[in-house]
Structure 1
Amino acid sequence: MDVLRTRWLGISVAVAHGVFSGSLNILLKFLITNYHFGYLTLIQCLTSSTAALTLAILRRTGKINIPPYTFQLCKDFAPVCILSTLQSTLTLWSLRGLSLPMYVVFKRCLPLFTLSIGVCVLRNGIPSLGVVMAVLITTGGAALAGAGDLTGDPFGYVTGVLAVIIHASYLVLIQKTSLESEFGPLTAQYAIACTASPVLFICAIISLDAVHMWTYEGWKDPHVTCIFILCIFIGCAMNFTTLHCTYINSAVTTSFVGVVKSIATITVGMLAFNDVAPTKLFIGGVIVNTVGSITYCVVKYFETKKKALTRIWKAKAKMADFPESRIARNRS
């Protein structure tokens, strides 16, 4: 029963992460492209500050059980915080320079980088042959889809590649921290938000985002304000589900969630923005990518089922070795 509950929790968190991540990408692209919103550091700062303040209030009122923010907590999650901030920064900058479908193509290479870094960093990080095949198929689909569009901003391509590398490192480091630390994902988000908020506030001042935002004409449009607020709250939810999904499942699984949700993101991007056309190469790449994602889901299903059966078998074998069991066998 516990195995089934854990499995469904992992699936639920993965689905939630995909929904929040895809929604945030689309909303941010709307702000940047349709409304010419360029205050990206401000979005990061407010997202981090909102998460820190909300979790602090919930902790104070006893709604959640997380430790207070201390220097030791900051020290424990400092590497994760650095990569988290870099990843979100590069993601925002790559969204500015790339079309939404091309941004998704870059993100579809995430499983390959996550797998490669995980093998080097994590203990028992060597994957099965099925997982490797699924990753290679997915990456091949991303390369095929990207071959049809090389017209984006060069700066967007550079930041896109860096965003994928840093994102993969971030996911692997989360998994490593979850194995070595006693704290859960909620504590991790609290520590990251509290540590990053002052730094992002200083960056917002230095970049003049906090100053120039008052002269932005788009605030007169209520749609801009609504999308801006949604981005902040969805960003908080996405950060938590990223941590939670990686804690419960794995770094590679979290990266594959991004691949699965990208189908909807690509569709919306092509319908809402006119910066890329659905070429045959692009559609072919999407199909190959989808096959890779399905392959990974099937492989992980059978691997999880095999692990569950192994745990049940070991539990029964352990019970069979109890003295009471031996006495019962002798009496019979």
Structure 2
Amino acid sequence: MTLNSVLLPVSEPPPPPLRAVDESAAPILRESSMSRRGAFVALSYMACAVLLVMFNKAALSSYNFPCANVITLSQMISSTCFLYTMRRWRIISFTNGEAHKSGLVPPQTVLLTLPLSLAYLLYMLATMECVRGVNVPMYTMLRRTTVVFTMTVEYLMTRQKYSFPIVASVAMIVFGAIVAGARDLSFDVYGYIMVFIANMTTAIYLATINRTSKTSGLNSFGLMWCHGIVCGPILLFWTYIHGDLELTMNFPYLHSLGFQIVMLFSCILAFFLNYCIFLNTTLNSALTQTMCGNLKDLFTIGLGWLLFGGLPFNMLNVIGQALGFLGSSFYAYCKLKGK
């Protein structure tokens, strides 16, 4: 077996979009259809995301684990260890077109990924903060508008425009989100501001993935490695000063086999999820990644209701979720057909 035959797939920049007759016009995504590999990556992301939510829910609810940041830290440390081991064994590469050496990413390249890491930290902090001031239905509704922010950021960064069917699918998702939260319109200025900041930082984070992959020459594994190297120590310091590490050491189910299995699968799924996010964003687009996040919400809600229950019936919420699902499905259809 040759060395190249065991290498895992890495990210590749998508083919350049077809331009109109006027070369000065911004590119419009009309005929850049999603490849089979792109569709497989998108489906893999949604499957990993749904399963990861279930295992995190089991750790936080079923076992009443009090430290969500420790779960995130464990996932980040595990991913970094996985990457280091596979890189040393030459199973993966960190850059595109690289001779498969056992060396790691040089410091100057890590510095190029600082904007990506900072964007992730802002996204994470804003997301945690906005949950405090907004109830769950309104949080879900407002977070669905991330697709609009993603399209705006992509236009500002790359002057990228989208065809009418794509815009129509986004409008359907946003309208469905409004319908889903129509009966829970509780106005909270601070909470609303934090949700929209979280939407903006999410859009910037996804758009930065695409740009950083091109400027740094790193593939999905290389970006994940730099991400862990930069964000890991910061998150470790954050959990330490907040006393989460001490709470974890005193957690009564820490040595329980069931809890350890849940945490193990959570760390494994987080690794594959991050890989799929980077690969889906670079192989398809930041907007496709956002759409996949909306589409998997329906499966997350359904599976979560079957496993954990506690979801009250609300007709407007059901109609809104259905509209969001149809909008995401229509977007997927447009991408597959190249419209």
Correspondence for 1:12: 40
Return the match for 1:270 from 305, 308, 328. 305
Q: Which amino acid aligns with 2:74?
A: L
Correspondence for 1:84: 120
Return the match for 2:183 from 148, 152, 156. 148
1:11-62, Cα deviation, whole Å (9 max, x unpaired): 1111111111122223323333343322122122221111112211221222
Q: What is the alpha-carbon distance in structure 2 between the residues aligned to residue 35 and residue 273 of structure 1?
A: 13
Q: What is the alpha-carbon distance in structure 1 between the residues aligned to residue 132 and residue 266 of structure 2?
A: 15
Between the aligned residues of both structures, percent identity stands at 23
Q: What is the alpha-carbon distance in structure 2 between the residues aligned to residue 285 and residue 101 of structure 1?
A: 11
Q: What is the alpha-carbon distance in structure 2 between the residues aligned to residue 82 and residue 205 of structure 1?
A: 20
Matched, 1:190 2:225: yes
Matched, 1:40 2:76: no
Aligned-partner SS, 2:232: helix
Return the match for 1:108 from 130, 144, 160. 144
Q: Which amino acid aligns with 1:225?
A: Q
Q: CA deviation at 1:303?
A: 2.2
Contact in 2 for aligned 1:24/1:235 (Cα 8 Å): yes
**Normalising by the residue count of structure 1, what TM-score does the alignment of the two structures yield?**
0.80
Q: Which amino acid aligns with 1:78?
A: L
Matched, 1:70 2:106: yes
Q: CA deviation at 1:136?
A: 1.1
1:296-323, Cα deviation, whole Å (9 max, x unpaired): 122222327xxxxxxxxxxxxxxxxxxx
Return the match for 2:203 from 149, 153, 168. 168
Contact in 2 for aligned 1:142/1:286 (Cα 8 Å): yes
Correspondence for 2:18: none
Return the match for 1:54 from 62, 77, 82. 82
Correspondence for 1:201: 236
| Cα 1:140/1:132, change in 2 over 3 Å | same
Contact in 1 for aligned 2:142/2:195 (Cα 8 Å): yes
Q: Give the length in aligned residue pairs.
A: 302
Q: What is the alpha-carbon distance in structure 2 between the residues aligned to residue 121 and residue 139 of structure 1?
A: 23
| Cα 1:276/1:157, change in 2 over 3 Å | farther
Correspondence for 1:290: 325
Q: How does 1:235-246 map to 2 (within 5 A)?
A: 235-246=270-281
Matched, 1:119 2:147: no
Q: CA deviation at 1:284?
A: 0.9
Range that drifts further, 164-173 or 253-262: 164-173
Q: How does 1:297-316 map to 2 (within 5 A)?
A: 297-303=332-338
| Cα 1:249/1:51, change in 2 over 3 Å | same
**Normalising by the residue count of structure 2, what TM-score does the alignment of the two structures yield?**
0.78
Contact in 1 for aligned 2:169/2:330 (Cα 8 Å): yes
| Cα 1:12/1:132, change in 2 over 3 Å | same
Q: Which amino acid aligns with 2:79?
A: A
| Cα 1:140/1:75, change in 2 over 3 Å | same
Structure 2: 5+ residue runs without aligned partners? 1-14, 16-31, 96-103
Aligned-partner SS, 1:290: helix
Q: Which amino acid aligns with 2:260?
A: T
Q: What is the alpha-carbon distance in structure 2 between the residues aligned to residue 176 and residue 110 of structure 1?
A: 19
Q: CA deviation at 1:220?
A: 5.5
Q: Which amino acid aligns with 1:284?
A: I
| Cα 1:154/1:263, change in 2 over 3 Å | farther
Contact in 2 for aligned 1:245/1:254 (Cα 8 Å): yes
Aligned-partner SS, 2:92: coil
Q: What is the CA RMSD across the aligned residues, in angstroms?
A: 3.1
Contact in 1 for aligned 2:248/2:254 (Cα 8 Å): no
Q: What is the alpha-carbon distance in structure 2 between the residues aligned to residue 8 and residue 101 of structure 1?
A: 35
Correspondence for 2:9: none
Structure 1: 5+ residue runs without aligned partners? 305-332
Q: Which amino acid aligns with 2:245?
A: A
Kindly indicate which of the two structures has a greater share of residues assigned to helix: 1
Q: Which amino acid aligns with 1:18?
A: M
Contact in 1 for aligned 2:42/2:276 (Cα 8 Å): yes
Q: How does 1:123-142 map to 2 (within 5 A)?
A: 124-142=159-177
* Structure with larger Rg: 1
1:85-123, Cα deviation, whole Å (9 max, x unpaired): 33345556667888877665444322122112211122x
Q: Which amino acid aligns with 1:142?
A: A
Q: Which amino acid aligns with 2:71?
A: I
Aligned-partner SS, 2:35: helix
Aligned-partner SS, 1:38: coil
Contact in 2 for aligned 1:99/1:276 (Cα 8 Å): no
Aligned-partner SS, 1:63: coil
